[in-house]
Amino acid sequence: MTELFVSYARDDEARARQVAEALAAEGYHAWRDDELPAHRAYADVIEERLNSAEAVVVLWSQAAVKSQWVRAEADSARNRNILVQVSLDGTVPPIPFNQIQCAALSWSENPVDAAGWRNLIGSVQALAGPKVEATAARPRRKQVAVCVLPFANMSGDAEQEYFSDGISEDITTDLSKVSALAVTARNSAFMFKGHAADVCEVAQKLSVSHVLEGSVRKAGGRVRISAQLIDGSTGEHVWAERYDRELTDIFAIQDEISKAIVDALKVKLLPEEKKAIEHRGTTNVDAYNYYLLARKYWITGNWGNTDQLDLVIRICRRAVDLDADYARAWGLMALVQCILFFTFARGEDDGIAAANRALSLNPNIAEAYCVRARHAYEQGHFHEADEGLERALGLEPDSWEVNREAARIYYFERRFAEAARHYEKAVALDETDYHSWNMLCSVYIALRDAAGATRAAENAVSAAESALIHDPTNGSALSTVVTGLGILQRRERAEEWIDRALLISPDNIFMRYNFACTTTLQFHDPEAAIKLLESVFPLLSASAYKAVVADPDLDALRDHPRFQELMEAARERLAADLPNPAAA
């Protein structure tokens, strides 16, 4: 059946069910969020369904107009030109959706009796094709679906995990370029990382026909890769091979694995797809290895530790020294330079030169568009920033870096539903990302989603405590634990953590800021919060000041005289660096 996505407010659930049932009778599968699987993150599944839908039916009502989720889903559909609008109660869609045709669907019992039903069906047919009885001539959906499980690191060195993960991701990317294959997204496959999963169960859970698993052993100048393609319904091997070669052959091995899978599945590889698979961005194996290492430090780093950001930049520089045309390394360096410059007011390079270099080499480097988006946001050009994010997300919807940056900008634009969607994607891609779990705590509180905030808090505490095992001085992780404990109503333990953290890292202003947010939001103690902020405000950068302006965690302090004094002093100090004072 044709896939439709039905977007609606919770108050309209009964009518949404009726609409979905009526669409099913017409030969369409109308997906609603009552089909959410229990084991998947809400925002992650919603995004997958939105991206796979051939038409999105938005049911507007007085309640839907107030729903940030409905607006976000409608905006996603509008950007893809697959939006079908319906008014349930005569409500006019909000700006900018009021510029698009909207069917009137007021009815008493059966929606098909409503005057606007034929208009609705006509729009659906125009986007998604005719109903199922008339689809004999239409091409069938892809029947061959593959999941690439994360390859096991057999090197005997946990520090080599980045290399085996990189191989898995690259093979996933290669197979995704084959139009005859459906390939499970990286974040879904990596849910099974570190688990001895039954292949048939994996295939069933992810609705794939085949599973690729393997291992990587890297030692000195040699690499051994074993891979096997397994039929998900029988558990039988369809293809298996072991490659034991020089490390310089790594690109050839990846090409051979991808092509062997295509041959084993008996699907057609088009000439342009073969060319795309063989394009690695660099022919220098050492540059490739440095890029994977830099990305490992970037993903697993201590958010707020500027020394770690400097390290990522240095490793990227080594990669581009080895291959000056390595666009991906330029793109990652640009993103980290940009964050170091704006978020932490460190460094002299704002990342724009490296971003432009990346795009001159490859116009499809998503991180570079994130850098341009961040620059536009900092200058108050919010529409331009959104366009940059949309371009980046369109290029790499499953990129951890891109989703983190998109979430951050949407959060400080107070577009919380969209921020939630992308922070959820970030933690689905890397569940140890305690910073994103921390931000999700704030997002769900802003959305008044108590269950979401509790879930985020529990995961934030767990991920941050794991990080603290490796580095007990990690101020970002310490503040994340406090945020989570505050939401979970464990004030006494949270205050113990605050005392401990201030002793361990007394000069960490970002940690103090987060403590002030928890003290304001969860402990309802404005005086204690302002005392923490008094040492923070004189050190704020212009970007950090704008973040304070937008941060919902501090809304309860906005009318406090001392907070207003702090804000005014910071605004005057930073006036020259605030190009859009009206927005601030």
User: Each residue of 343-354: pLDDT tens digit?
Assistant: 888 888 999 999
Q: Please report, in angstroms and rounded to a whole number, the separation of the first and last CA atoms in the chain.
A: 49
More confident residue, 297 or 321: 321
- Residues 189 and 171: beta-carbon distance below 8 Å: no
Q: Which residue has the higher pLDDT, 278 or 518?
A: 518
Least confident span in 244-258, 294-308, 415-429, 459-473: 294-308
- pLDDT at position 136 is 38
Is the separation of the CB atoms in 210 and 145 below 8 Å?
Answer: yes
Residue 553 near residue 547 (C-beta atoms within 8 A): no
Would you say residue 420 lies in a domain? no
Picking from 224, 249, 280, the residue at the C-terminal end of a domain is 280
Closest to 517 in 3D by CA, of 494, 492, 539: 494
- Residues 199-206: contacts with CB within 8 Å, 24+ apart? 199/230, 199/232, 199/235, 200/232, 200/233, 200/234, 200/235, 202/147, 202/149, 202/232, 203/147, 203/232, 203/233, 204/232, 205/39, 206/145, 206/147
Q: Is residue 287 part of a domain?
A: no
User: For the segment 479-495, what is each residue's pLDDT rounded down to a tens digit?
Assistant: 999 999 999 999 999 99
CB 176 within 8 A of CB 183: yes
* Selection from 8, 141, 25 nearest residue 84 by Cα: 8
Lowest-confidence range among 277-281, 442-446, 538-542?
Answer: 277-281
Confidence of residue 106 (pLDDT cuts 50, 70, 90): low
- Residue 269 sits in which domain range? 145-280
Predicted pLDDT of residue 302: 63
Q: What's CA 315's distance to the chain center, in Å?
A: 24
Q: Report percent pLDDT > 90 for the chain.
A: 30
pLDDT of residue 516 exceeding 90, the answer is: yes
Helix boundaries (H) for 279-381: 285-300, 306-322, 327-342, 352-361, 366-378
Residues 112, 169, single domain; the answer is no
CA 560/CA 37 separation, integer angstroms: 44
What backbone torsions phi and psi does residue 4 show, to the nearest 5 degrees?
-115, 155
Residues 216, 164 contacting (CB under 8 angstroms): yes
CATH of the domain at 107: 3.40.50.10140
Question: Domain check: are 449 and 573 in the same one?
Answer: yes
| Same domain, yes or no: 66 and 195 | no
Q: Which tops the pLDDT comparison, 474 or 337?
A: 337
pLDDT at 2: 45
Give yes or no for residue 129 having a pLDDT over 80. Answer: no
Predicted TM-score (pTM) of the model is 0.65
Are 197 and 112 contained in the same domain? Answer: no
Question: What is the pLDDT confidence band of residue 316, given thresholds at 50, 70 and 90?
Answer: very high
Higher-confidence position of 142 and 46: 46
CB atoms within 10 A of CB 500: 14
Residue 518 confidence (pLDDT) above 60: yes
User: Which tens digit of pLDDT belongs to each residue from 442-453?
Assistant: 999 999 889 889
Mean pLDDT of 533-561: 90
Residue with tokens 């919902």: 552
What is the pLDDT of the chain when averaged over all its residues? 84
Domain boundary among 280, 305, 327: 280
Average of per-residue pLDDT across 394-402: 84
With a CB cutoff of 8 Å and minimum separation 6, the contacts of 359 are 327, 365, 368, 369
Nearest to 428 by CA among 36, 76, 47: 47
Instruction: Name which residue leads in pLDDT, 533 or 180.
Output: 533
Neighbours of 582 (CB within 10 A): 6
- Is residue 321 a part of any domain in this protein? no
Most confident residue range from 6-20, 87-101, 252-266, 527-541? 527-541
**Residue finishing a domain among 112, 134, 156:** 134
Rounded distance, CA 516 to CA 572, Å? Answer: 22
Sign (positive or negative) of CA dihedral 265, 266, 267, 272? positive
Instruction: Classify residue 167: in a domain, yes or no.
Output: yes
Query: Using one digit for the tens of pLDDT, what is the confidence trace for 341-381?
Result: 988 888 889 999 999 999 999 998 999 999 999 999 988 89
Is residue 132 predicted with pLDDT exceeding 60? Answer: no
In this predicted model, what pLDDT tens digit does every residue of 66-97 receive, in sequence order? 887 888 888 888 877 788 888 887 787 887 77
Residue 374 lies in a domain: no
Number of domains in the chain: 3
CA dist 368 and 355 (Å) reads 5
Q: What are phi and psi of 420, to 5 degrees?
A: -60, -45
Confidence of residue 134 (pLDDT cuts 50, 70, 90): very low
Poorest-pLDDT segment among 45-49, 151-155, 298-302? 298-302
